[in-house]
Amino acid sequence: MPDKREQTLTIKLSDFEMLAVRQAADSFDMDVSELVRGCICIGLPVFAHVPFVRRVRLEDNRAMQRVQ
């Protein structure tokens, strides 16, 4: 059985970023916490290999251009 989730993480997002995250979570029938945990799990191994990672923005992703 996985450990009980008792820790929280607070992040600051722009209105655009928050809308994008909520829409993505909805599209996967997940809540925002599930989506973020999944992104961390999948993305963290890739993260170390992106030299410009500090400059990456959600709006750089073509899929995010559909956010209304």
- pLDDT per residue as tens digits for the range 9-68: 999 998 988 998 999 999 999 999 999 999 999 888 887 787 777 776 767 666 666 655
Scan for tokens 């599930």, then name that residue.
Answer: 34
Rounded-to-integer distance, Cα 40 and Cα 38, Å: 5
- d(Cα 52, Cα 3) in Å, to the nearest integer? 34
Model pTM?
0.72
Instruction: List b or e across 20-52, with b for residues whose CB sees 16 or more CB atoms inside 10 angstroms.
Output: bbeebbeeeeeeeeebbeeeeeeeeeeeeeeee
* Pairwise CA distance, residues 16 & 64, whole Å: 9
At 30 the pLDDT is 97
pLDDT at 51: 75
**Higher pLDDT, residue 6 or 54:** 6
pLDDT of residue 52: 74
